[in-house]
Structure 1
Amino acid sequence: MPTAVFVHGTGVRRASFDDSFAALREGLARIRPSLTVEPCYWGDEFGSRLRAGGASIPGTRVGTRSPNDSEALDPLLQLWAQLDIDPLAELKAASLARPGVIPPHTVGAQLVQLDRLRLAAKSATVLREATAAGIGHCWAASVDSVVTSEAARRAVLSAGSIQGADAVVARACVAVATLATDELLDGTLAIDGGHREAVATALLDALGVSERGVGSWLLAGVARPIEHRRHAITGAVSAVPGDVLRYLARGSRLRRIIADSVRATNGDVVVIGHSLGGIAALECLIEQPIPAVTHLITVGSQASFLYEIDALPGLSFGTDLPAHVPRWTNLYDPRDFLAYVAAPLFPGRVSDRVVDNDAPFPRAHTGYLRSRHFYDVLDEVMA
């Protein structure tokens, strides 16, 4: 029986690798009891880390902006951060701030006032500001969707009148239009705080509203500004993108680690590479013939995607795989947004096989090594 060498993916460090490798070894023992399984752990030797203790992060060193600056504590900035995630978040929160029983005979009059906002949104000044902010194409439809939403209706009824909720509704209109424009542009709209506030202010001016602050009902639930937690957050999440960026810049070192791991074995070798490990393993085999490797199995990997966008360091788009690259099987879960098919890019050189991890993303990306279906498929492709 050959030896299986497992190359892990991005963001994995020792504790996580040990857990994953144990799961792989146990799973392979069920389908190939006599198979030797060897680790290729590179997280400590090659993985990214903040080598200067986070000195590049604002607020970490003396003389840089402090996360306690007033801008970081601005409640409106915190609010807009929430609205970028859910543009109706403030409306939904406002609907819970009920002042008391709403007289039934006032409901119709209160809701009719929402039409005032719709008309105000069509004023020349508001349209001019919306256009200047870059959200003019989506403005009218976005205002309609907010004004007719259940969240706006409930917020107005809870406040007692449109005058008690107009600032909330106005911000929702801007937030919805901003995200709609993102979708229209298939990217992120270039809009700054000044333009965003100018649209909301113009709309409130058209309504004759003077009160535009953030309600205490929302501030009570606003989390600490992200600026306060930037150092901790960067340290916690940088390993995943950091490993990818480091590979693209310094990948030869990781490929040497893989080659050395293979050469340390005896006999034929099957290389199993997950995620970034699959990319590096493929490029290792592109870079040099390693006759011991008889089969490459990539799992939830992005090699074909990088090739298609011409970002695979060792193989330019349009260039064929070298003849010395061994048999290649690519396993992917359709729910894994970090997994790609490879056969359309390398016809006749790779076989794609579907794995069902029975999990949504991101668990679909990390769940292969404990998935029973993964080992069912592995059993077939290793035959």
Structure 2
Amino acid sequence: MPDPVFVIHGVANRDLEGFTAAVEALQAASGVEMHPVYWGDLGAEDQHIAATLPPLHAPTNTLRAENEPPHTVADDALAADLFAERTPAPEARTRVEQTLREHLSATPQDHDDGELRDGDFTPVDSDQVAAYLAEAWDQTTWLQRTDDPLLLAEVGRDLARALLDAAPEDEFGYAELRGSGPTDFEGRMRSLVRRRLSDLDRVAGAAIQAAVGRINHALRTRLGPGTTRFLGDVLVYQRHQAAIHARIRASIDAVDPELGRYPDRPVRVVAHSLGGVVAVDMATAANPLWTEKLLTFGSQAAFFHVCDPRGGQLEPFAGAQRVVLPASLARWTNLWEPLDVLAFAASTVFQLHDGSSPTDIPVPHSASTGLWTHAAYWESPAVAAAIGRAMRVDTPPADPAAPAAEA
């Protein structure tokens, strides 16, 4: 009977029972016998991490339904700073003007409501309106930096409707403009374009600020705590590496004290996140954990080695050629999820001892996992299937001297 695959968890894992249950589920899905290796109690103290995070922006109660919970918006400075990095888009005004001209030149039957509210229709000088648009455009904050064609088209459409379909009682409605003198008419039209464009710019700014606020909130509440706990465990591992290695060694010894100590008794390891770094460190140490097959998912071994060489039997990465792994790490499969910010490739930095490369395999993203995908691997069918393939015990080759089996 083959030895079990040892599963090493990653960062922010403080639930032994939950980890054990996750390994049991992964074992059932992959068809590979597994043994959980828990070291979470040696990790960072993370129960008070929230106290170190900057406060969120004050919540707003505006523009929401009565039963909708308050949502967070970014303040003007944050959204403006983010948008200020974008240079004005030269084609933005052109897109608005194009739609504006199209709607100004259309007949009443071409409009959505079939006719203007006052029952009359007088064409508007689109060249004149375009000139007023050009005058007012540089005063916008958000629209001139927007490259979204739908938004810009809607701005042009709304400007046209403001001129053609304004209510007669509107102080700046076009129905009243038609009865004005030439000079007054031009001034009112210019004012109408300027004010309407300013209103639309303000609405666009409010929408952008709300979007930035929601993203900011998601980053803090979903990505922030996970990233912070990741950093905490990384710091603890750097300081207490020997204790964590000893815990893993003891867990393997509990199954078989000879496992991983000799080339002819290698182990098979599955490791998540920082657990993959731990597994690579142990397999490439001066006194290595002999590892026949390693599968990592959402791991950072290559990233850490490029930033700060890990030592042991590994040479620093110089960029010109990959780092050759020792024979004590025979096979390596590395899984990464496209939206996992804590997952890195292995084959671009490392080379196996026999000249082949570690196998990097992308894991399909599931929309149900949301933004924080670093913990999503455990329930992924693709991960379970990859483990089953990578950890399968190969059938030993037939002995040529052995008698053929009877048919």
* Structure 2 equivalent of residue 152 of structure 1: 155
CA contact (8 A) 2:333 2:390 kept: no
Which of 343, 349, 355 in structure 1 is aligned with 2:347?
Answer: 343
CA contact (8 A) 1:110 1:157 kept: no
Residue 143 of structure 1 deviates from its aligned partner by 6.5
* Structure 2 equivalent of residue 37 of structure 1: 35
* Structure 2 equivalent of residue 256 of structure 1: 243
* Structure 2 equivalent of residue 49 of structure 1: 46
Which of 321, 346, 352 in structure 1 is aligned with 2:359?
Answer: 352
* Structure 2 equivalent of residue 24 of structure 1: 26
- Structure 1 CA distance for aligned equivalents of residues 45 and 223 of structure 2: 11
- Structure 2 CA distance for aligned equivalents of residues 144 and 362 of structure 1: 25
Is 2:240 aligned against 1:240?
no
Is 2:396 aligned against 1:380?
no
Residue 352 of structure 1 deviates from its aligned partner by 0.7
Is 2:296 aligned against 1:298?
yes
Note the alpha carbon deviations across 1:289-333, whole angstroms, 9 max, x for none.
34454332211323223434x245556433845636422413324
* Structure 1 equivalent of residue 398 of structure 2: none
- Structure 2 CA distance for aligned equivalents of residues 146 and 358 of structure 1: 28
Note the alpha carbon deviations across 1:57-97, whole angstroms, 9 max, x for none.
5579xxxxx969xxxx9988269649959x9xxxxxxxxxx
Q: SS of 1:10's equivalent?
A: coil
Is 2:166 aligned against 1:162?
no
CA contact (8 A) 1:331 1:352 kept: yes
Which stretch shows the higher mean deviation, 272-281 or 161-170?
Answer: 161-170
Note the alpha carbon deviations across 1:203-261, whole angstroms, 9 max, x for none.
xxxxxxxxxxx7xxx79x969x88xx98x986765442223323443323256324422
- Structure 2 CA distance for aligned equivalents of residues 83 and 287 of structure 1: 47
Larger radius of gyration: 2
- Structure 2 CA distance for aligned equivalents of residues 165 and 311 of structure 1: 57
Note the alpha carbon deviations across 1:32-62, whole angstroms, 9 max, x for none.
3xx34223241x43145254761x45579xx
Which stretch shows the higher mean deviation, 292-301 or 112-121?
Answer: 112-121
Q: SS of 1:323's equivalent?
A: coil
> Greater helix percent: which structure?
1
Q: SS of 1:251's equivalent?
A: helix
Is 2:276 aligned against 1:274?
no
Superposed, which structure 2 residues align to 1:72-151 within 5 Å? 77=75, 81=79, 103=116, 105=121, 113=129, 116-121=132-137, 142=145, 149-151=152-154
Flag structure 1 segments of 5+ consecutive residues without an equivalent. 61-65, 88-99, 176-213
- Structure 2 CA distance for aligned equivalents of residues 255 and 157 of structure 1: 72
Q: SS of 2:333's equivalent?
A: strand
CA contact (8 A) 1:356 1:374 kept: yes
Flag structure 2 segments of 5+ consecutive residues without an equivalent. 60-70, 87-111, 167-191, 260-266, 394-407
Residue 21 of structure 1 deviates from its aligned partner by 2.5
Q: Which amino acid aligns with 1:369?
A: W
Residue 337 of structure 1 deviates from its aligned partner by 4.4
* Structure 2 equivalent of residue 329 of structure 1: 332
TM-score by length of 1: 0.57
CA separation of 1:238 and 1:110: change in aligned 2, threshold 3 A? same
* Structure 1 equivalent of residue 377 of structure 2: 368
Is 2:317 aligned against 1:317?
yes
* Structure 2 equivalent of residue 3 of structure 1: 4
- Structure 2 CA distance for aligned equivalents of residues 8 and 271 of structure 1: 11
Q: SS of 2:349's equivalent?
A: coil
Name the count of aligned residue pairs: 296
Residue 270 of structure 1 deviates from its aligned partner by 1.9
CA separation of 1:36 and 1:7: change in aligned 2, threshold 3 A? closer
TM-score by length of 2: 0.54
- Structure 2 CA distance for aligned equivalents of residues 107 and 147 of structure 1: 25
- Higher RCO, Cα 8 Å, sep 6+: 1
CA separation of 1:108 and 1:307: change in aligned 2, threshold 3 A? farther
* Structure 2 equivalent of residue 192 of structure 1: none
CA root-mean-square deviation: 5.1
Q: SS of 2:345's equivalent?
A: coil
CA contact (8 A) 1:40 1:257 kept: no
Q: SS of 1:296's equivalent?
A: strand
Q: Which amino acid aligns with 2:361?
A: V
Q: SS of 1:116's equivalent?
A: helix
